[in-house]
Amino acid sequence: MGDKGLSVSRHPRSLGENRYVYAVLSRRAKGISIGINLNPDKICNFDCIYCQVDRTTPSELREVHEGELLEELESVLTRAKDGGLYQEPRFAAVPEAKRKLSDISFAGDGEPTSYQRFREVVSSVADLKERLQLHGLKIAVLTNCTLLDRPAVREALAILDRSDGEIWAKLDAGTEEYYEKVCVPGGARLAKILANILEVSRLRPVVIQSLFLALEGAGPSIEEIGEYCRRLQEIVLGGGRIKLVQIYTVARRPAVSSVTPLTDSQVDAIAEQVRRVTGLPAESFYGSSAWQE
């Protein structure tokens, strides 16, 4: 993949010669997010119909070499800190106001918590952040929540609690049926995801990230969004803390070609319903179908 310019509809998981660490202009992080890919083999325990990871071509890289990953991260963070990173050609089209480091994120080409040494990598990243004196820089974990009940993952989250960590918990449905349809989770149950979200959100406030889409032109039903709001209410009633609900839609080429973004007004209507029904803060992030042009 060439080193083309960044935009919110273009999220290459590459940066120069790097194999694990990349930079994206994130509409939700509102700046430059430094991504860590712990799933270079592109294997995920979900199979979301909107997934942007291109699994039609095999991955050239299967292993995570942690030393290399940390070297890449140190180099990128150092260049971001002194501003040198933004002088690189790929940042030329990024508006000046967005040329700022907004977070380090564990995202990549699969479920980051599925990496067997997730806790150890998290610990090393937190240490590196300290050493580079990037105090206050957020470390976000974008997760489908299936593995948050693993003891080692819980320990990793506890490390993040001490290092500006934030959990972005995926919740794309209110019913098992719709969840199966959109995330195709192959055995994982929505009930388990909800239980995991409740558990972690009792210990620290979490961000809920919810992608809604149109499938063959049809968005989620009114009933589905009603059920989704009830699931959020149940988390809060169970003692969970939700600091923000992100309602967003497709912005990059999805795995299934009949998936398209919701319109801006559809995204806003869901966010408004979340605010009205649950009293939680909700933010809209609009989509794009630029990949079709």
Q: Name the residue nearer to ligand SF4 (CB basis): 40 or 129.
A: 40
The CB-of-103 to ligand SF4 minimum distance in angstroms stands at 17
The CB-of-105 to ligand SF4 minimum distance in angstroms stands at 12
The CB-of-284 to ligand SF4 minimum distance in angstroms stands at 19
The CB-of-109 to ligand SF4 minimum distance in angstroms stands at 6
Q: Name the residue nearer to ligand SF4 (CB basis): 137 or 190.
A: 190
Cα–Cα distances in angstroms (integers) from residue 119 to residues 12, 51, 111, 175, 239, in the given order: 26, 25, 14, 31, 26
Q: Name the residue nearer to ligand SF4 (CB basis): 55 or 117.
A: 55
Give me the torsion for CA of 91, 93, 98, 99, rounded to 10°: 30
| Residues contributing to the site for ligand SF4 (CB under 6 A) | 44, 46-48, 51, 53, 110-111, 144
Spatial distance between the Cα atoms of 217 and 223, rounded to a whole number of angstroms: 17
Q: Name the residue nearer to ligand SF4 (CB basis): 105 or 144.
A: 144
Q: Name the residue nearer to ligand SF4 (CB basis): 47 or 149.
A: 47
Q: How far apart are the first and last CA of the chain?
A: 19
Residues 6 or more apart whose CB falls under 8 angstroms from that of 52 comprise 11, 252, 253, 254, 255
Looking only at the bridges linking them, the beta strands covering 101-106 and 31-36 are parallel
The CB-of-261 to ligand SF4 minimum distance in angstroms stands at 15
DSSP H helix total and E strand total for the chain: 7, 10
Handedness of CA 176, 269, 8, 204 (dihedral sign): negative
